[in-house]
Amino acid sequence: MPTISPEALASELRVSVGRFQRRLRAERSGADLTTGQFGVLTTLTHHGDLTPGALAQHERVKPPSMTRTVNALAELGMVDKVEHPSDRRLVVVRITDAGRKEVAETRRRRDLWLARQLRTLPADDRAVLARAQQILRDLAAG
């Protein structure tokens, strides 16, 4: 296998990972959520109840944008806005059962799609991907 420079590999990986991510994101449940809305649901699933400001920080968006996202999710019944326990000027965003079901179903569909794709690969290629996922995880952590 020819040696590839870190710069060339970075470019190829960026493109490939981006395409893969877009394809994987296409696998979702029946709800018509934006990527940002689904991201908020997964953040709430992982971190629990958060203020809109904390959600905006997690999702790296401006607070007014998060307010619109939270309001849209509330209208869909995916989240509830409840009074902050210690500061009545604030609200806390809480995922609902419908929101949890949306996250679970989308994850299930994505895992199912990916598992089907992986089954088509030879065992050697799956072993390479198993090693690559650990390398990518390590890169993301650094």
Predicted confidence (pLDDT) per residue in 5-59, tens digit? 999 999 999 999 999 999 998 888 877 899 899 999 999 999 999 999 999 999 9
Helix (H) or strand (E) holding 40, with range, is helix 35-47
Q: Which domain holds residue 74?
A: 28-141
Distance from chain centroid for Cα 17: 14
Q: State the Cα–Cα distance between residues 71 and 52, nearest whole angstrom.
A: 10
CATH of the domain at 82: 1.10.10.10
Q: How far apart are the first and last CA of the chain?
A: 27
Residue 8 is assigned to a structural domain of this protein? no
User: How much is the pTM?
Assistant: 0.83
Residue 22 is assigned to a structural domain of this protein? no
Instruction: Say how many domains are in the chain.
Output: 1
Secondary structure letter of residue 87 according to DSSP: -
**Measured between alpha carbons, how far is residue 32 from residues 35, 63, 76, 83, 96 in Å?**
10, 23, 10, 28, 17
